Structure 1
Amino acid sequence: MSVSAVLQTARTRIRLPEPSDAPKLLRFRVDNRAHLAPWEPLREDSYYTLEHCAQAIADGQAAARLDRGYPLIVFSPDGEDVLASFTLSNVVRGPFQACLLGYSVSAGLQGLGLMHEALEAGLAWAFGELGLHRVMANYLPRNERSARLLERLGFEREGYAREYLRIAGRWEDHVLTAKIRTGD
């Protein structure tokens, strides 16, 4: 995806962030700090600074240029507000053609189908333009919203990993799921 490419849905504009988006990303992080804390690794206070957001954007652009990852921001249609984000990370080519999916949505927008809408567009792009065969997504067993979202998107459960990731300061089990491109 070029830095200027945009995925459009009925309620969103999805794209790689640009340096000028750092204040918007910071506002999303700060506004959703408590909401996302139970589902993410512990964050240093520096994570909630403009400098960290600017560096994350620069790192994301570099990852996209190298086809290693695509940290996408889900903006409001006018591009002013960050509604959600999702990342296609750890892209592996060769015989695997796969990546990991992670995502987050603003606390006030949960349950409105916005993440489903954005991920449908992102997955179509991943399986289409990116040519990926497999997208994997893992979630905490107690995260029922993620379980339902991934199921609705066509992800299938593939396993269970004990103490898979360190989330909110403790090693947490995860349910492993994947969606595979059909028609290959």
Structure 2
Amino acid sequence: MSEPVRMRTPRLLIRLLDSEEAELLLRYRLDNRDHLRPWEPLRNTTHYTLEGCRQTIEAGLEASRSDRGFPFVMLTPDASEVVGTFTFANVVRGVFQACHLGYGIGRRHEGQGLMFEALDAAVRYAFGPLDFHRVMANYMPRNDRSGRLLERLGFEKEGYAKRYLKIDGLWEDHVLTAKIRSQG
């Protein structure tokens, strides 16, 4: 992608971060460390440092340039705060044209419909300019909110994977869902 990707929704600015914005990412990570822990892999101490955030952003920009992944942040309209994040990861092109979607939202912003707003725009972008045929998103069965969000976005359950991902140090089962680009 040669042009920087920017999406706007009524309440959010969505884009990739620049490495000079590592402080924004660090503030989000520190503010939501305990809130996100049950839903994420174990994080090392570097994850919560300015240099670790710079490295994450640089790796994300490289992944985007090479069409391997797209780690977006959801920002307040004035770009002063990270509200949440989502990533189109594990991009496979060729006959598959698919990716996995992962996401998280800051504790202060839960329950306001912001993740739905962001992912609704993001999935349209995935099926438009990114030209994906399939977007897959998986969630732990105990995460009812995530299951309801994906259902509202039009994702359909496709299966159940036992001990699928190591989350917070434990192998967790996941419900497998996907949304397919409509024909026409």
TM-score in terms of structure 2 length = 0.98
Does residue 1:164 correspond to 2:164, yes or no? yes
Specify whether residues 53 and 35 from structure 1 end up closer, same or farther in structure 2 by C-alpha distance, changes over 3 A only.
same
Identity of aligned residues (%): 58
Task: Output the CA distance in 1 between the equivalents of 2:139 and 2:160.
Answer: 10
User: Distance in 2 between the 1:148 and 1:44 partners?
Assistant: 31
Instruction: Give distance in 2, aligned partners of 1:2 and 1:15.
Output: 14
- The one-letter amino acid paired with 1:77 is P
Equivalent residue, structure 2, for 1:121: 121
1:6 and 2:3 aligned: no
State how far apart, in whole Å, the 2-side matches of 1:4 and 1:100 are.
Answer: 21
Give the counterpart letter for 1:68 in structure 2: R
The AA in structure 2 aligned to 1:139 is Y
The answer as to 2:75 corresponding to 1:75 is yes
- Cα-to-partner distance string for 1:4-42 (whole Å, 9 max, x where unaligned): 331000000000110121000000000000000000011
Instruction: Please give the residue correspondences for 1:1-40 in structure 2 after superposition, counting only pairs within 5 Å.
Output: 1-2=1-2, 4-40=4-40
The answer to whether the Cα contact below 8 Å between 1:154 and 1:179 also exists between their aligned partners in 2 is yes
Give the CA deviation at 1:89. 0.3
Offset at residue 45 of structure 1 (A): 1.3
Mapped to 2, the partners of 1:45 and 1:95 lie a distance apart of 39
Q: Which moved more, 1:4-13 or 1:139-148?
A: 4-13
Q: 1:160 offset after TM fit, Å?
A: 0.2
Q: Normalising by the residue count of structure 1, what TM-score does the alignment of the two structures yield?
A: 0.98
Name the amino acid aligned to 1:108: R
Distance 2:58 2:44 in 1: 19
Unmatched segments (≥5 aa) in structure 2: none
List gaps (5 residues or longer) in structure 1: none
Q: Distance in 1 between matches of 2:41 and 2:92?
A: 23
Aligned pairs for 1:41-120 within 5 A: 41-120=41-120
Distance 2:2 2:179 in 1: 24
Two-structure CA RMSD over aligned residues (Å): 0.9
Contact 1:161 1:174 in 2 (8 A): yes
Give the counterpart letter for 2:60 in structure 1.
G
Task: Show the counterpart of 1:149.
Answer: 149
Pairs aligned (count): 184
